[in-house]
Amino acid sequence: MVNWQVTATTIYCDAVDADVTMMVYKDSSARCVGYKKYAESISKETAKALKKKAKKLGRELKCEGPECSRLIAYRDKLFAEEAAAKGS
């Protein structure tokens, strides 16, 4: 990944039982667009849908926020790949 500014991927997030897009920036900051929808500014409709899905699945659905293990793992993977490419 030579000279990149941002990279993104969409994954299935089992924490909210939905697809979310994660973005990692060159400065090593990262964010998940699902965080805004499912935690930061959750609407009544989204909260109701999450509650309904949780009941159906038999487990709690809750966004992990900025400390999400999936987001951190994706960011770390990208920077490890970049470091390995530079070392080659």
Residue 25 falls inside a structural domain:
yes
Q: What is the pLDDT of residue 64?
A: 94
- Is it the case that residue 1 has pLDDT exceeding 70? no
Residue 62 falls inside a structural domain:
yes
Predicted confidence (pLDDT) per residue in 27-80, tens digit: 999 999 999 999 999 999 999 999 999 999 999 999 999 999 999 999 999 999
Q: Which domain holds residue 80?
A: 6-87
In angstroms, the CA 32 to CA 30 distance is 7
Q: What is the pLDDT of residue 85?
A: 85
Residue 20 falls inside a structural domain:
yes
Give the predicted TM-score (pTM) of the model. Answer: 0.84
Cα 74 from chain centre: 8
Q: What is the pLDDT of residue 88?
A: 65
Structure tokens at 19: 């697809």
Residue 39 falls inside a structural domain:
yes
- Number of compact structural domains in the chain: 1
Structure tokens at 29: 């900051």
Residue 1 falls inside a structural domain:
no
Residue 32 falls inside a structural domain:
yes
